[in-house]
Amino acid sequence: QKEVEQNSGPLSVPEGAIASLNCTYSDRGSQSFFWYRQYSGKSPELIMSIYSNGDKEDGRFTAQLNKASQYVSLLIRDSQPSDSATYLCAVNVSPGNQFYFGTGTSLTVIP
């Protein structure tokens, strides 16, 4: 069974701090990794994708992938109250196949 694990939180950080969200996955053959943000009552929104080991930066967001350790993380720099949401980690083992989601980490940024 392919599993994606995330700490459910809640994770609270003060405004302006770095929020660090972590995710581990069980299938070593996984190829693509995604972070979605889901505001309460809304659908998930893709914010980052990463395919290769290392870091990928997009604005205040940095995704980090370590395939040897089977984890992927998301760093949010200069956290804002508008970043308060649930963050879902997703894994795609191979193109054409299913996406596997973690249960999400709830983040609250305190003004």
Q: What are the residues binding another protein (CB under 8 A)?
A: 31-32, 34, 36, 41-46, 49, 51, 88, 90, 92, 95-99, 101-104
Task: Tell me whether residue 17 or residue 92 sits nearer to another protein (CB atom).
Answer: 92
Whole-number Å distance between alpha carbons of 3 and 102: 8
Nearest approach, Cβ of 7 to another protein (angstroms)? Answer: 13
User: What single DSSP character describes residue 28?
Assistant: T
Six-digit token pair at 26? 């069980």
96: closest CA among 25, 31, 5, 35? 31
Q: How far is the CB of 44 from another protein (least distance, A)?
A: 5
- Of 63 and 102, which CB lies nearer to another protein in the complex structure? 102
